[in-house]
Amino acid sequence: EDVMDSLELMLENHVLRLPVLDNGKLVGIITTTDFVNVFDKGLDGEGRPHAKRSPELVAENIMHKPVVMIESGKSVLEATRLMTENNIGSLIINENCKIGIITESDIFKRVVAKGKDSRKTKVGDVMTTPCKTVGPDTDIIEASRIFHDNDIRRLPVIENCKVIGIMAVEDIIDIISIRRRF
């Protein structure tokens, strides 16, 4: 199937990875990051240039809010519960304008895989800080480059040392998909 059809399939089924089969044999996996990479290269998935910069496609118009925050001194168990309760994959830490992020991946790699006790391990011990951030006027093309260049899936949106929202790589994929339809 066409690359953009694969994107549609991923969006419809809420999956981040899609196996690629050739005559029933697994030959690869397409991830959401692959689509951001295509967008970052300036193509629409079919080798044609995508739309130019659009003033309405900036972080403040795409971001999710409110952002769920946690303090660095809280336990990873508390962080996990907070993520589960809010059905989210990350929490933001903002202490004295130092922005950090803890993700499901951080917890898996730095706590679970190492056999650490999530009740005793502090968020501050496993979070990523400083984390990449964007301002409210950052456009989608620049955001996609940050996602791609740093191999990340979430970007806090910051204004005057305050976290005002969060963007996810899936938001850019949604926009790519919507633009394809019109």
User: pLDDT tens-digit profile of 100-121?
Assistant: 999 999 999 999 999 999 999 9
User: pLDDT tens-digit profile of 35-60?
Assistant: 666 655 654 444 444 545 566 789 99
45 & 63 share domain: no
CATH number for the domain harbouring residue 13? 3.10.580.10
Peptide bond into 55 cis (omega under 30): no
Q: Which domain holds residue 126?
A: 59-168
Q: For position 105, what pLDDT does the model report?
A: 92
Average model confidence (pLDDT) for the chain?
Answer: 84
Q: For position 41, what pLDDT does the model report?
A: 61
Cα–Cα nearest to 139, from 47, 40, 46: 40
Separation of alpha carbons 72 and 81, rounded Å: 15
Total structural domains within the chain: 2
Q: Considering only 42-46, 68-72, 87-91, 136-140, which range has the smallest mean pLDDT?
A: 42-46
pTM over 0.85: no
